[in-house]
Amino acid sequence: MGSSEAPRTTTGWAAKDPSGVLSPYTYSLRKTGAEDVVLKVLFCGVCHTDLHQAKNYLGITRYPAVPGHEVVGEVVEVGSDVTKFSVGDKVGVGFIVGCCRNCSPCRSGEEQYCNKKIMVYGDVYTDGQLTQGGFADSMIVDQKFAVKIPEGMVLEQAAPLFCAGITVYSPLVHFGRNRSGLRGGILGLGGVGHMGVKIAKAMGHHVTVISSTDKKKVEAMEHLGADEYLVSSDATRMQEAADSLDYILDTVPAFHHLEPYLSLLRVDGKLILIGVSNAPLQFVSPMLLLGRKTITGSFIGSMKEAEEMLEFCKEKELSSMIEVIKMDYINTAFQRLENNDVKYRFVVDVAGSNLLHP
């Protein structure tokens, strides 16, 4: 396998305009290099970001766009300089497939904050070709941006860990919220939020789920193991919970006021934004000043953290709760995702789907 070979083609499902409707799309993969691996895609999770990108909610989509950034695949070819993987290995790929490798974040092992990072889809690779994601039969990925899946993990359940899992694991570790005995809040109980509950509980935290209604209370407490459940519109309960949390992971991918949640934080508490919204968020400064509180953000995680997260999940026997679908159901899945009608992550059985026909 070398850079002189002719590009190969693959078939995926792409959005071709802001309607966000996906349909079959055949395209050329980039040429392979010495450090590349060729993957046969097996499964791919479905994230709110895929929906946002397909419909150009953030105004940055390049069409045609093949979504998918929670990819699980099998290595079918390796380049001459590949040392991390062998043919037959099962690996995962997340949101990043390239970086400059020279800037401060890259040198410190935080390539997700590289200003020249390359997204797995909707971006431009170093050869000028548009990147495409995991809703496709195959991918070519630099070995640096793939992670071997530990033996014994159920592959379809591992897929969401490459976004939902790492997105909650990374900030908890980085901000020192990975020690036992803390009290944490998870704002929003979707794909990312449900992994937030599981990972925080496994770290030994007292976990409160915060939601706009009580319809997920039984699921949160009986199925996911949350310790408490707060309905944000219940003023009495919110007041009782004031100054009780060390951190809140805010997973909500839409506009919302921050003041109600800042009031729940103790002195030096952190509100960590990990949900992507295309609308400005609002708060008044005294909510921060009077408790030395912090609003901060976190974007996925590094490749090193992804490896650590997988080992953590294996050790703690954590997995995502999923609904497996075929590719021809993806447009219905997008509609359900927009209506918050999924428990808690769709995963596409890519290898088991007929990608050529809608």
Supply the pLDDT for residue 58.
84
Nearest partner of 330 among 55, 135, 188, judged by Cα: 135
Nearest partner of 199 among 143, 232, 152, 160, judged by Cα: 160
What is the three-class DSSP state of 180? coil
The burial class, CB within 10 Å (0-12 / 13-18 / 19+), for 83 is exposed
Contacts of 164 (CB under 8 A, 6+ apart): 45, 47, 70, 191, 192, 194, 195, 320, 345
Beta strands 138-142 and 36-46: pairing type?
Answer: antiparallel
Count, residues in the chain: 358
Name residue, tokens 């026909």. 357
Are 9-163+301-349 and 165-297 in the same CATH fold?
no
Q: Which two tokens stand for residue 127?
A: 């050869």
Name residue, tokens 């007292």. 206
Rounded to 5 degrees, what are φ and ψ at 155?
-60, -45
Supply the pLDDT for residue 104.
98
- Is the preceding omega at residue 125 within 30 degrees of 0, hence cis? no
Nearest partner of 42 among 71, 15, 18, judged by Cα: 71
Alpha helices in the chain (DSSP H): 48-54, 104-107, 155-158, 164-174, 191-202, 217-218, 235-240, 259-262, 286-289, 303-316, 330-338
Provide the residue-wise pLDDT of the chain in tens; the chain has 358 residues: 554 456 789 999 999 999 999 999 999 999 999 999 999 999 999 998 999 999 998 889 999 999 999 999 999 999 999 999 999 999 999 999 999 999 999 999 999 999 999 999 999 999 999 999 999 999 999 999 999 999 999 999 999 999 999 999 999 999 999 999 999 999 999 999 999 999 999 999 999 999 999 999 999 999 999 999 999 999 999 999 999 999 999 999 888 889 999 999 999 999 999 998 878 888 889 989 999 999 999 999 999 999 999 999 999 999 999 999 999 999 999 999 999 899 899 999 999 999 987 7
Contacts of 35 (CB under 8 A, 6+ apart): 79, 81, 82, 142, 143, 144
Buried b (16+ CB within 10 A) or exposed e, 59-76: eebeebbbbbbbbbbbbe
Domain 165-297 has CATH 3.40.50.720: yes
Rounded to 5 degrees, what are φ and ψ at 29?
-80, 155
Distance, CA of 297 to chain centre: 14
CATH-assigned architecture of domain 9-163+301-349: Alpha-Beta Complex (3.90)
Supply the pLDDT for residue 340.
86
Supply the pLDDT for residue 3.
47
Domain ranges of the chain: 9-163+301-349, 165-297
SS3 for 108-134, per residue?
CCCHHHCCCCEECCCCECCCCCECCCC
Nearest partner of 113 among 104, 122, 124, judged by Cα: 104
Nearest partner of 310 among 217, 186, 199, judged by Cα: 199
